[in-house]
Amino acid sequence: MFDFWWRPVLVLGGNLFAALLVAVMFSVTAGIILFMLGVLGYLIYNLRQMAALIHWLERGERGGIPQARGAWDDIFYGLERLLRRQKRSATKLSALLDRFEHAAQAIPDGIVMLNGTDQIDWFNPAASRHFSLDDAADRGQFIGYLIRQAPFHEYLAGHDYSEPLVMKSPASRDVTLSVQLVPFGDKRKMLISRDITQIELVDAMRRDFVANVSHELRTPLTVVGGFLETFADMEHINPVDFRRYSDLMQQQTERMRMLVEDLLTLSRLESPQNRLQESATDVPALARLLFQDAQSLSGERHRIELFIDSDRWVKGNPDELRSAFGNLVSNAVRYTPKGGNISLRWAARAGEVCFSVSDTGEGIEPHHIPRLTERFYRVDRGRSRETGGTGLGLAIVKHVLTRHQARLLIESQVGKGSCFAACFPASRVIAPPAA
């Protein structure tokens, strides 16, 4: 403070000393006049510096800081230093805001900032996709005008935002969103949206899976339980009837066993702890074994052929590959009518090596093919139960091939038959060991 005031005090003191000196040498009136003229000059100087300051403040940063002497030089220097500090703070704040905006734009969840009257201040690209918002037209709009769904309006007006709201996206009815409002600041809100479409699909698949398993087990359990109740009520059991009932119970028990085994196989294939144990797999030899299994399962009801057009082996798990190929073979035998043809082939195909199973069965309509690998999906439920299928075979095939970076190709024509091919990439194919 002393550094600031010493200059004006020194100026006024000098004027007063000069006035006193003149008063002593000439007259008191001359001294007073001299002092007043000095004060007036000093006042005019300060008014000019104040005008320069006001003019500079009005221009802002367009002009340089005024040049001055004395106390005003200290004032202008202090203002300039404060301005530089403010500029640095503004630059840092702008950089932080830019980083926040870039981070918010990269967040996969939608974010909409609402003011105290629920009007849109800002939103990120994910929110634009979720709610079909336009950056130029929708800023400043009331959120309720843009999301015209009754559940959302009730949620917005209810002021209870402790739980999220599940709703369909205004941009697409196929997208399911989980939205939640988070109040903050002075009556402001942040609307957060998350795409939970896949989670909803998985949850629906889980519910369907439980329902299908329950349905598949209910029928054999009902049959076995009914026969056991019948045996309990009978005093004397006819051996012929007992044999017939026992055969039926054994069939239903075998059906439950196969279902449980397939479920355990799927669970094992899907487990992240179950790492693929690889070794060189002799696919030509495996194809010959499956050919023998097919003949045994067919019981001479079909004409079955085997074609080995490649001597290549595959790097993979022999047990899993036998399970996958075996499902393709057993499906062909079960679903091909008596007298039909079935062919097994191991051959090169467009840069890959494929194990294919072709049949002359009834064929599959095109709209069924994309869903054949779903669990318990059946083209004809009645025919599947008659042939003893569990509805999990192709799901197992898909999981095994996925673990081996292979793919399942399905070609079918109604009335002509089908071809299921398990194709392995070149990275999985190896030459047979030297004899």
Task: Give residue-wise pLDDT tens across range 172-231.
Answer: 888 999 999 999 888 899 999 999 988 888 787 777 777 777 777 777 788 788 878 877
Task: Give residue-wise pLDDT tens across range 123-140.
Answer: 888 898 999 998 888 989
**Segments forming the whole domain that contains residue 265:** 201-270
pLDDT at position 92, please?
Answer: 81
pLDDT at position 342, please?
Answer: 95
Q: How far apart are CA 52 and CA 197, in angstroms?
A: 65
Residue 50 located in a structural domain: yes
Q: How confident is the model at residue 1 (pLDDT cuts 50, 70, 90)?
A: very low
Query: Which residue do the tokens 């001299």 mark?
Result: 34
Residue 435 located in a structural domain: no
Domain harbouring 301, CATH code? 3.30.565.10
Mean local confidence (pLDDT), 272-297: 91
Task: Give residue-wise pLDDT tens across range 84-118.
Answer: 787 788 778 777 777 777 766 778 889 898 998 99
Per-residue burial over 296-316, b = 16 or more CB atoms within 10 Å of its CB, e = otherwise: ebbeeebebebeeebebbbeb
Q: How far apart are CA 411 and CA 417, in angstroms?
A: 9
Q: How far apart are CA 331 and CA 396, in angstroms?
A: 13
**DSSP states of 21-61 as a string?**
HHHHHT-HHHHHHHHHHHHHHHHHHHHHHHHHHHHHHHHTT
Q: How confident is the model at residue 16 (pLDDT cuts 50, 70, 90)?
A: low
Compute the Cα dihedral for 157, 158, 163, 168 and give only its sign: negative
Residue type, 33: I
- Quick one: 170 and 120 in the same domain? yes
- Quick one: 311 and 411 in the same domain? yes
Residue (of 362, 270, 372, 370) closest to 328 by Cα position:
372
Give Cα separations from 11 to 15, 139, 352 (angstroms). Answer: 6, 59, 99
- Quick one: 250 and 208 in the same domain? yes
Structure tokens at 255: 């059906």
pLDDT at position 282, please?
Answer: 95
Q: How far apart are CA 291 and CA 289, in angstroms?
A: 5
Q: What percent of the chain has pLDDT over 70?
A: 81
- Quick one: 260 and 311 in the same domain? no
Task: Give residue-wise pLDDT tens across range 137-157.
Answer: 898 999 999 999 999 999 998
Residue 406 located in a structural domain: yes
CB atoms within 10 A of CB 63: 10
Task: Give residue-wise pLDDT tens across range 335-392.
Answer: 899 999 999 999 998 889 999 999 998 888 988 888 888 877 777 655 545 555 667 8
pLDDT at position 276, please?
Answer: 85
Residue 403 located in a structural domain: yes
Strands (E), 55-119: 110-114
Per-residue burial over 180-189, b = 16 or more CB atoms within 10 Å of its CB, e = otherwise: ebeeeeeeeb
Residue 135 located in a structural domain: yes
Residue 254 located in a structural domain: yes
Residue 28 located in a structural domain: yes
- Quick one: 409 and 283 in the same domain? yes
Q: How confident is the model at residue 425 (pLDDT cuts 50, 70, 90)?
A: very high
Structure tokens at 371: 């869903």
Higher pLDDT, 73 or 332: 332
- Quick one: 8 and 116 in the same domain? no
Beta pairing class for 341-349 and 303-308 = parallel
Beta partners for residue 276, in sequence order:
none
Domain harbouring 232, CATH code? 1.10.287.130
Q: How confident is the model at residue 26 (pLDDT cuts 50, 70, 90)?
A: low
Beta partners for residue 181, in sequence order:
191
- Quick one: 234 and 191 in the same domain? no
pLDDT surpasses 50 at 4:
no
How many domains does one find in the chain?
4
Task: Give residue-wise pLDDT tens across range 39-61.
Answer: 666 666 776 767 777 776 676 65
Say which range, 225-234, 271-280, 303-312, has the weakest mean pLDDT: 225-234
- Cα 63 → chain centroid: 53
Higher pLDDT, 21 or 168: 168
DSSP 108: S
**DSSP states of 168-194 as a string?**
E-SS-TT-EEEEEEEEETTTEEEEEEE
pLDDT at position 418, please?
Answer: 94
Q: How confident is the model at residue 168 (pLDDT cuts 50, 70, 90)?
A: very high
Residue (of 230, 221, 216) closest to 252 by Cα position:
221
CB atoms within 10 A of CB 318: 17
Q: Kindly report the average pLDDT of the chain as a whole number.
A: 82
Last residue of a domain, one of 161, 195, 229: 195
Q: How far apart are CA 130 and CA 173, in angstroms?
A: 11
Q: How confident is the model at residue 35 (pLDDT cuts 50, 70, 90)?
A: low
- Quick one: 254 and 291 in the same domain? no
Give Cα separations from 291 to 8, 313, 354, 388, 420 (angstroms). Answer: 113, 17, 16, 20, 15
Mean local confidence (pLDDT), 12-40: 61
**Count of positions (residues) in the chain:** 435
Last residue of a domain, one of 77, 101, 125: 101
- Quick one: 117 and 68 in the same domain? no
Mean local confidence (pLDDT), 287-301: 92
pLDDT at position 99, please?
Answer: 77
Last residue of a domain, one of 223, 245, 270: 270
The pTM assigned to this predicted structure is 0.56
pLDDT surpasses 50 at 2:
no
- Quick one: 317 and 180 in the same domain? no
Task: Give residue-wise pLDDT tens across range 257-272.
Answer: 877 887 788 778 877 7
Domain harbouring 152, CATH code? 3.30.450.20
- Quick one: 284 and 405 in the same domain? yes
Residue type, 6: W
- Quick one: 284 and 424 in the same domain? yes
CB 149 within 8 A of CB 177: no
Residue (of 288, 282, 356, 269) closest to 315 by Cα position:
282
Residue (of 370, 424, 373, 377) closest to 394 by Cα position:
373
